[in-house]
Amino acid sequence: MEPLHRRIRSTGMNEASLEFLKKLTDAASPSYHEEDAAAVFHEHCATFADEVRTDLMGNVIAVLNPAAEFRVLLSGHIDEIGLIVSTISEEGQLYFKPIGDWDPAVLVGQRVWIRGQIPGVIARTPVHLLSEDERHKVCELYEMSIDIGVSTRETAEKLVEVGDEAVLHGSLLRLGENTVIARGLDNKSGAYVVAETLRRAKDRLRKDIGLYAVGAVQEEVGYRGAASAGFGIAPQIGIAVDVSHASDYQQAHSGHLARIALGKGPVIARGANVNPVVYRLLRKAAEDADRPFQLEAEGESSYTDAAALQTSGVGVATGLIGVPLRYMHTPCEMLRLDDLEACVDLLVNFCLALDPTIDLTPKRI
């Protein structure tokens, strides 16, 4: 098979950046077990950042110009949804609880990795043995278990213990010219964007602006990493980079969803968690570069790191950028690499155009 970086070279993504994205998505990092993805993020950023550190929450923080008083925080969370072993049956079956928000229908029959080392499969009663009523019901999480190929609790406990985490099995795969699928693109794609923004802004960023790329933890269980990073860094501006639901396929058509499509560029949010001045600056950065972008309205919470950053400390002027994504919270999340690169370009242009004397107080113009 042709190397991955050669097969999608048309996106403008270089070999090292593509390998970084693949390593991020391959790393098993369910919420509060992000160490593997954190190591990937740290290693990559250490090649260009002025400073890289890990805080007590587990956030990886890479910085340009750490002495600058005007600080911009870019957050892309490195955690993903997963499972946690809750009990082990006498037959060696592992029962589990969700880490984050799952559709139970997605899980049946999936292969898993426990602690990134132990393989297993999610089991349920075969269709042949179901009653007529059971055939028409969604299998609930408590009706499933993980089978690791053993027959006794004693044998299972030599390999696994209660509290061990698991993720679905899968690796980055290319579809078409520049479309990829992978587990955990929510939100390894956002982590990729903030790290690459830092790399590409280096040597061009004003020295009186401190730029912080945060690989944030525990977003899927309550934005906890972004909350602590925002408090510790105390930025004037905070931008969360996450994924946005693409609605460009039949099953997602709905009158209340934004008209968001793959291949149409970054999604810039407006609404509850977005400072209007930051929104206008993001939009201007896209328009000045003559690059396409899409809009999304957030009437209440965006349920992203932007919600935590906005209320950190005395308050932060917050923005939110989305990478268009299909099939969120499944093992085959899908995005286009040209959208990913467009998000990086947008953030780089935004950061390079900033003036630390800007008044970020919300105002109508």
Same domain flag for 269 and 140? no
Same domain flag for 104 and 200? no
Percent share of the chain, pLDDT over 70: 95
Mean pLDDT of 13-42: 94
Q: Assess if residue 175 is contained within a domain.
A: no
Q: What is this structure's pTM? A: 0.93
Same domain flag for 101 and 236? no
Q: Assess if residue 173 is contained within a domain.
A: no
Q: Which of 203, 5, 208, 224 is nearest to 100 (CA)?
A: 224
Domain hosting residue 230, numbered range? 4-80+183-353
- Inform me whether the pLDDT recorded for 3 exceeds 60: no
Mean pLDDT of 313-338: 96
Same domain flag for 248 and 339? yes
Same domain flag for 104 and 147? yes
Q: How far apart are CA 306 and CA 242, in angstroms?
A: 9
Same domain flag for 197 and 333? yes
CA–CA distances in Å: residue 251 to residues 176, 199, 255, 319: 21, 38, 12, 29
Last residue of a domain, one of 134, 168, 202: 168
Rg over alpha carbons for the chain, rounded to the nearest Å, is 21
- Inform me whether the pLDDT recorded for 7 exceeds 50: no
Task: Report the catalytic residues.
Answer: 219
- Inform me whether the pLDDT recorded for 11 exceeds 80: no
Q: Which helix (H) or strand (E) covers residue 245, if one does?
A: strand 237-245
Question: Can you say how many angstroms the Cα of residue 3 is from the centroid of all Cα atoms in its chain?
Answer: 25
Mean pLDDT of 44-66: 98
